[in-house]
Structure 1
Amino acid sequence: MSCTDPPRDLASIAAKDNELVFPSFTADTAWELGNALRSRLLEFPTPAVVNISLANSGQLLFHTATRSGTQPDNDLWVARKRSTVLRWGNSTWYMHNKYAGNEGAFAAKFMLGDTAGQYAIHGGGMPIRVKGVEGIVGVIVVSGLKQEWDHQVIVETVEKYLKGQ
């Protein structure tokens, strides 16, 4: 199984990311969305992790491995992607393409120094936006597939979820 590759130009990425706005977002939403992501990811032979948390408190609303074979490293990637979304308010796929995947240039631009390892500009981290709310309310992270598919699985699943609302 695979995904269509997401766009690489910033305008298209931003437009798609900004379309994905929820009418509301609760623990029930996270549960439904998390299970939808897990079901979609089960179509892939590679194990992955799904993580959904709130932005303001960091409260974990959903976390699962899709199958045996994930590693503690997946959770480190989740934390790094989440930190990037929280700090810059964009998807990690957007940030990846903005800096052409160059972690060194990204770290230098923001003078991250010793904290650079806390952030990742690899696809798979997506902000949760709610209509009428300033800023992001949470973060969705997928880790385990190729980074462009980590991102695209989120996009496709959120689109499908929102169409059903």
Structure 2
Amino acid sequence: MTDPAFDPTALVSVLRAQEDRLVLRRFTHEDAWRLGCLLADTARQRLAPVTIDIRRGHQQVFHCALPGTSPDNDDWIDRKRRVVERFSESSYLVGTRFRAKGTTFEASSPLDQCLYAAHGGSFPIRVEGAGVVGAVTVSGLAQAEDHAMVVEALENFLAPDVPATPATAPSEPPARPTNPPEPTAPPEPAPSAPSQQGTPPPPSGPPAVPPPSPAP
């Protein structure tokens, strides 16, 4: 079996499948914040020196630079994001497609290399019925790792929309309030010892038949 990590042609198929699968139902400013925080938390947990950028249309809606980054990462983000805006595909897919043809983006593309970089790390934000509406970009690691971090974040971001067996069936009615308590039948009296006055407690079952009187 061919390892797509070493075969550009096979990798192109993998990257296309990712883009077909990672489609959002909507993408609001609040969604951008949640996705950005998800990426930032992941990067911080892994001590990854990355810069994260999210665009919605032409507006920058999230930007975060973690320790170990520099202004160079901002430049890489801009160049990779422009590839997404130009081709409506991830920067990693665009660069890999050139390699699958036996060349490179730098050698064969007529675009200005100072403005465009087909290196992994920028991914199109695609919305159902609307197409590409923005881009999420990571810079700071090797291009395959930048790309993988974005894909992982989008998969986790979309996880609530994936059908799954819930822990509690959605048709289960909500719990009824405990105050006031529901009326219940009075408990049956339990057998107990005779009272202090010597009067035995009333029987809980049917009345007992008295024993026959002794013969005279």
> What band does the TM-score fall into relative to the shorter chain?
0.7 to 0.9
Q: CA deviation at 1:106?
A: 2.1
1:148 is matched with which residue: 144, 147, 152? 144
Q: CA deviation at 1:105?
A: 3.9
Distance 1:139 1:84 in 2: 10
Verify: 1:27 aligned to 2:29, yes or no: yes
Q: CA deviation at 1:109?
A: 3.6
SS in 2 for 1:99: helix
- Change in CA separation of 1:90 and 1:35 when aligned onto 2, cut-off 3 Å: same
SS in 1 for 2:82: helix
Q: CA deviation at 1:97?
A: 1.1
Distance 2:100 2:50 in 1: 21
Distance 2:157 2:28 in 1: 14
Distance 2:90 2:6 in 1: 12
In the other structure, the counterpart of 1:64 is 64
In the other structure, the counterpart of 1:131 is 128
Q: CA deviation at 1:132?
A: 1.0
In the other structure, the counterpart of 2:78 is 79
Aligned AA (2:138):
V
TM-score norm. by structure 2 comes to 0.66
Q: CA deviation at 1:43?
A: 2.8
Contact 2:124–2:136 (CA under 8 A) maintained in structure 1: yes
Contact 1:101–1:121 (CA under 8 A) maintained in structure 2: no
Contact 2:95–2:104 (CA under 8 A) maintained in structure 1: no
- Change in CA separation of 1:136 and 1:65 when aligned onto 2, cut-off 3 Å: same
Distance 1:29 1:7 in 2: 35
Q: CA deviation at 1:10?
A: 0.8
Distance 1:160 1:7 in 2: 27
User: Which segments of structure 1 move beyond 6 Å, counting only runs of 4 or more?
Assistant: none
Uncovered stretches (5+) of structure 2, i.e. residues with no partner: 162-216
- Change in CA separation of 1:31 and 1:40 when aligned onto 2, cut-off 3 Å: same
Q: CA deviation at 1:45?
A: 3.0
**Can you list the C-alpha shifts for 1:40-81, whole angstroms capped at 9, x where unaligned?**
1113333110000123xx101000012x22110000000001
SS in 2 for 1:46: coil
Q: CA deviation at 1:6?
A: 10
RMSD of aligned Cα (Å) = 2.2
Paired residues for 1:12-23 under 5 Å: 12-23=14-25
Distance 1:153 1:7 in 2: 21
Uncovered stretches (5+) of structure 1, i.e. residues with no partner: none
Structure with max Cα Rg? 2
Percent identity for Structure 1 against Structure 2:
36
How many pairs align?
154
